[in-house]
Chains A and B, each alone.
Chain A
Amino acid sequence: MSHRRSWWKTGIGLVLTAVMLFPVYWMINVSFTKTSDLRDSPPNLFPFAPTLDGYTAVLSQQLPYLGTSLLIGLGTVLVTLVISAPAGYALAKLRLRGAAPLTFILLVAQMIPGVVMAMGFYAIYLNSGLLNTVGGLILADSTIAVPFGVLLFTAFMSGIPNELIQAATVDGAGPWRTFRSIILPVSRNSAITVSLFAFLWAWSDFIFASTLSRSGQFLPITLGIYKYIGNNTSQWNAIMATAVVASIPAAILLIVAQRYVAAGVTAGAVKD
């Protein structure tokens, strides 16, 4: 009896998920639809005569953009980890004076609208030559992730037993060695969660890309799609194919790291 009831609930769950994911399905469906079938009315619910034209267009035009985004994502992860892991350690374990106000500043920093930051960065980059550079975009994108990273590392590292650190001190390890060979390995899961979000936010960023890197040689994929939409308003199959390709990192992360994603969301992570 209870077994039957649980299958009934699975049924409802499947229907709800299908409704929720319909736009995602539709994106994939359109990406395989032939250009000549795009204006069919009613539209085809399934690409019965699939075409890879959309994907060929992506690979021929958008490949460099994907490469740029990958580079920006990895760079952002690096900057975020280098800044936030040591700071998290100081806040959690080193009895830093002024830890409370610093934590407060980090919380407030997350509330500042991206468009405001973009204007500030634009004004600074214009005069310092960082406009339209990969480095400039990495630094700007890292501001989305650094406060989150510090807060997450602090929360996790607070839970590391002090005895562990004391034992290292007894063995003669200095603060840096303790951090590197005790704290960092233990905090692996937090580091994965922080890296994952930093990468995803940088990969998905539109505001900084569209303001700080509008005309450079190295455009990220979000801007590639945006420009493509502007130039080919009716080529929905190619646009959606690009969208599918741009979603691949998110899909991979969801499959291999769902538990880290859920942990990050509940730790107060919020998408910009």
Chain B
Amino acid sequence: MTTLPVRVGAARPDAGGAVGTPAPLPPKQRSRRTSFGTNQWVALAFVAPLIAYLVIFYAFPLYRNIELSLHDYTPRAFVQGNAAFVGIENYVAVFGSKTFPKALANTALFTIVSIAFQFGIGLILAVFFRNNFRLNGVLRGLFLVPWLLPLIVSASTWSSMMNSDNGVINSALAVIGVAPVNWLTSPDLVLASVIIANIWLGIPFNLVVLYSGLQNIPEDLYEAASLDGANAWQKFWRITFPLLRPVSLITILLGLIYTLKVVDIIWIMTAGGPGDSSTTLATWSYREAFGTGNPDFSPAAAVGNVLILIALIFGFIYLRIQNRTEK
């Protein structure tokens, strides 16, 4: 954890790129006068690989994706490169599809319910770990495990635990007399099941970020409140909660942006099924393009672009809030 304060503290000085230190050494002045133009070339040389990289590996795929969505790409047209231009037809088809309202509702439910629980549980745990006790650091480290595991590992573990016939969850329920639950095959339950797994995955991130946010609240505030006779409940609502608001907002928005794009966990556990019952916009797009034996890239790209738009809306809200909190 020793790197943390360095980094957080180091992010601010010199942010504008100006030389802030009032210690003008003679050599510095000389080099500044003679080589101001050269400096820009040097800076460009250092950043050139990144710019080339962004153009080739971000801009180009995104451009290809828009192009896909405006043409009618069949697998054959893909190879021959003669797909017909259809304008916004793919978008019209996507919005008119009966999967669209279902996927949109599922995306909203999946995202909002996941975030609510991840954040709530993460906050409770962060407040708990603010206490001083033995093994605190070790246990906090162990809480990172779900976040570090490859998603395929977590997803298949949850699938095995939620198995209807001999999964451990149903066995545990049987002990208290509950009939077997079809976690992954019942259309009414399957979305809840993937949400449960996703909440579990997201708790570590919320815990770590909120915990580091708590570290920045000065201890004397709590001591002063104690002297005034405040109890733990009051301290939480009057000190922790308001002071943690900026960090909380950023955590929630980052969570939103990244939960919107989730494909792996849902795809591995349910493939979006049965039917469309656990299909989100991201898994729908994935299914159209890669999930069936008969790839349909153009509608998939259209769905993907709709998803980008939604993600960017939350993205800009996030950037605005972050800008405001930094000022």
Contacts and interface: CB of A to CB of B under 8 A. Distances in A.
Contact of A43 (B44, B146, B171, B311): B171
A15 B239 CA distance: 28
Interface string A15-31: 01100110110110010
A4 B144 CA distance: 27
Interface string B54-88: 10011011111101100000000011010000000
B150 interface: yes
Most B CB atoms within 10 A — which of A112, A124, A146? A112
Contacts of A203: 150
Contacts of A115: 261, 263, 282, 285-286, 289, 304, 307
Contact of B3 (A90, A112, A113, A193): A193
Contacts of A14: 135, 139
B268 A206 contact: yes
Contacts of B31: 169
A127 B21 CA distance: 53
A190 B312 CA distance: 28
B205 A6 contact: no
Given A113-B308, A116-B305, A236-B160, A24 B149 contact: yes
Nearest to B142: A17
Interface stretch (B11-19, B95-103, B111-119, B224-232): B11-19
A102 B17 CA distance: 14
Interface string A252-272: 011000111111011110111
A32 interface: no
A13 B263 contact: no
Contacts of B54: 105, 109
A107 B319 contact: yes
A9 B140 CA distance: 13
A127 B77 CA distance: 12
Contacts of B285: 113, 115-116, 119
A126 B78 contact: yes
A166 interface: yes
B7 interface: yes
- Say which size band chain A's interface belongs to: 35 or more
Contacts of A91: 47
Interface string B131-156: 11111100101111111111111101
B306 to A, nearest CB: 10
A159 B6 CA distance: 8
B128 interface: yes
Interface stretch (A33-41, A46-54, A56-64): A33-41
Contacts of B179: none
Interface in B238-284: 254, 257-258, 260-261, 263-264, 268, 282
B260 to A, nearest CB: 7
Contacts of B260: 113
Contacts of A9: 128, 131, 133
B50 A83 contact: yes
Interface residues of B, number: 118
A23 B1 CA distance: 26
Interface string A201-229: 00110110011001000000110011001
Contact of B10 (A102, A150, A159, A211): A159
A221 B319 CA distance: 36
Contacts of B308: 112-113, 116
B25 interface: yes
B262 to A, nearest CB: 9
Given A87-B46, A123-B67, 15 more contacts: A13-B133, A23-B158, A38-B166, A39-B165, A94-B43, A95-B43, A111-B315, A112-B311, A113-B307, A117-B62, A119-B68, A222-B151, A254-B144, A258-B1, A270-B205
Interface of B: 1-4, 6-15, 17-21, 23, 25, 27-28, 31, 39-40, 42-47, 49-51, 53-54, 57-58, 60-65, 67-68, 78-79, 81, 125, 128-129, 131-136, 139, 141-154, 156-161, 165-166, 168, 171, 174-175, 200, 203-205, 208-209, 212, 254, 257-258, 260-261, 263-264, 268, 282, 285-286, 289-290, 297, 300-301, 304-305, 307-308, 311-312, 314-315, 319
Closest 7 CB pairs of A and B: A120-B61, A159-B10, A94-B43, A204-B150, A87-B50, A90-B46, A113-B261
Interface of A: 6-7, 9-10, 12-14, 16-17, 20-21, 23-24, 26-27, 30, 38-43, 82-84, 86-87, 89-97, 99, 102, 104-105, 107-109, 111-124, 126-127, 139-140, 142-143, 146, 150, 152, 155-156, 158-159, 161-163, 166, 169-170, 175, 179, 189-190, 193, 200, 203-204, 206-207, 210-211, 214, 221-222, 225-226, 229, 236, 239-240, 243, 246-247, 250-251, 253-254, 258-263, 265-268, 270-272
